[in-house]
Amino acid sequence: MASTAVSEQQTELQVSNGGLTVQQVSELTGLSEHTLRYYEKIKLLSPVQRDVSSKHRRYTSEDLAKIETLACLRAVGMPIEQMRYYFEMAKNGKDAAAELKAILETQRAVLQERIAQMQKNLDYVDYKITFWSEVEAGNEEKAMEISRDFQRKIRGKAGICKI
């Protein structure tokens, strides 16, 4: 916890001393330098101020806050145009709260479906581990029983190993 506070203080100090470089923002957010430049190019980010002498990008704390939100929205699979719309609506504050909440609820449902699918995939891997453990132990009969039980369980269920 103390190291997080120190890291936050260092980041604030860097921001107040001319801003963060693209490399520093990349490290802090997990977004690649290419992605940061791309987001600026497609105007998902406002033009980032530049250092007077070197012309390198210098990110402010406001830039960093928006980029952290973008990183989170990207991580949950929100499409770029939806992220753009989210930020456009967020400018309206309370007036847009219901619509922003609906956007996030929709994304939440997408995530829940992906989690459910991943659980199916994990169940399949667990089944195969159990099956091959029995084969390895020389328990062919038990392995075949596991295989039959699993086939009955999944028969007629779509999407057992859907990506």
Predicted confidence at residue 1, as pLDDT, reads 52
Six token digits for residue 133: 């453990």
Note if the pTM is more than 0.95: no
Six token digits for residue 67: 């980029």
Q: Which residues of the chain have pLDDT under 50?
A: 2-3, 5-6, 13
Strand partners of residue 50: 57
Nearest to 50 by CA among 40, 39, 42: 40
> Is the separation of the CB atoms in 74 and 31 below 8 Å?
yes
In order of 5, 39, 74, the CA distances from 15 in angstroms are 15, 20, 24
CA distance 49 to 29: 18
Nearest to 146 by CA among 154, 162, 116, 119: 154
Predicted confidence at residue 68, as pLDDT, reads 96
> Is the separation of the CB atoms in 121 and 161 below 8 Å?
yes
Q: Counting Cβ atoms within 10 Å, is residue 79 exposed (0-12), middle (13-18) or buried (19+)?
A: exposed
